[in-house]
Amino acid sequence: MTKHDDNPLWKALDKLALPTDPSKVAQEQEKTFQAGLHDKHPRSIAVVNYKGGVGKTTATFFLGAQIANDEPKKKVLIVDIDAQCSLTSVFGIDPTLTDDHNVLTLLTGGKAIKPTGIHREAYLRRGRYGGFPPNLYLLAGALEVEDLDFELAKEQKFTRPEFFAQCRRVLALFHNFDYIFVDCPPNKMLLTQGMLRACSNYLTVVIPDRVSAYGIPRLFRWVEDIPLADRPRLLGVLINRVIRSPSGITEVQQNSLAAIRATVSKHNPKCEKDRGIVGMWPNSNNVCKVYDEGKSHLGQSDIWETRSRQQAVGDCVRDTAVKILSVCK
């Protein structure tokens, strides 16, 4: 025993962590980045549909927040590529006032976008309101992404394959995250196509009505046109705004659900569990409330209320998150 062994000050100093070697951190970041360029992130999920107003943004936010809440040791990233920037607003960031640390800067930065070329942490935002899980992060959107196709065509800065590779490069920057959700806009623009190719999985959100049921086959055919090496796997279909009355789901919605299930079975026979349906949510358009009331959905009392024969939205979100976690291991 030395003279220092029983000294509480020395014991306290022994427990202090040594400062991290910056060169080792940089090496590890570069190694992770290169792995992301070579192999897609296994738990990257594009949330997509041709049709707007079906609840894609709501689903992206709810599922990301739920998984971050249920898995506090895991890091969850949400990427906002929709020009409406709704998710960015929900996190308390005004897209009209934000700086250049957003997804557009990374998408147009070319090969300079790499761990040694940027300060990655400057692009990671956390919710500015109380109640957000501390392990939930945002890569903020930009209003100008709606002009991206036009700018790319005009400046000819990237060929189409090069831009698709750039989308992969952006996600590779965050390859050390455990889950990545990408909120896609309701269109077939290059950015949506690129992020579908950059993600390992995709989830589509639909409303059980005739219009949505007709649009699902087109979406599946579009994804099937992506080369097999880049094609994402379908996790399933999330049904939003299910209306239950005392007698059950309405007849119109029952017919639409049958058509959606048949389409999933035809185009994606591997989605056997629940015939491709990963969740059936009542009206879950509470993103505006998150922004107005300044709290995450986990603190919303009405999220956990059960009305009529409806399952509470919070319970639905949790059930869907569990299904996604079971598939994306």
Instruction: Tell me which residue range forms the domain holding 102.
Output: 39-327
Report yes or no on 16 lying in a domain.
no
Q: What is the enclosing helix (H) or strand (E) of 137?
A: strand 136-139
Whether residue 218 is contained in a domain is answered as yes
Average predicted confidence (pLDDT) for the chain: 83
Give a yes or no: residue 24 inside a domain.
no
Cα torsion through 11, 14, 15, 16, rounded to 10: 130
- Could you give the 3-state DSSP secondary structure of residue 255? helix
Does residue 17 sit within a domain? Answer: no
Give 169-216 pLDDT, tens digit per residue: 999 999 999 999 999 999 889 999 999 999 999 999 998 888 877 788
Q: What does the pLDDT look like over 119-170, one tens digit per residue?
A: 899 999 998 876 789 999 999 999 999 998 888 877 777 888 999 999 999 9
Q: Is residue 230 part of a domain?
A: yes
- Indicate whether 52 belongs to any domain: yes
Per-residue pLDDT of 83-101, as tens digits, reads 999 999 989 899 888 788 9
The predicted model gives 238-255 an average pLDDT of: 80
Q: Is the pLDDT of residue 247 over 90?
A: no
Q: Which helix (H) or strand (E) holds 46?
A: strand 44-48
**Segments in 39-99 forming alpha helices (H):** 56-70, 86-90
**Is residue 262 over pLDDT 90?**
no
What's residue 326's pLDDT? Answer: 87
pLDDT value at residue 54: 87
* pLDDT for res 295: 47
CA distance 160 to 164: 6
Task: Give pTM, 2 decimals.
Answer: 0.85
Residue 61 lies in a domain: yes
Count of domains observed in the chain: 1
Within-domain flag for 6: no
CATH number at 283 reads: 3.40.50.300
pLDDT at 174: 95
| CA dist., res. 44 & res. 328, Å (int) | 9
Highest mean pLDDT among 51-65, 203-217, 252-266, 268-282: 51-65
What is the distance of C-alpha 95 from the center of its chain?
18
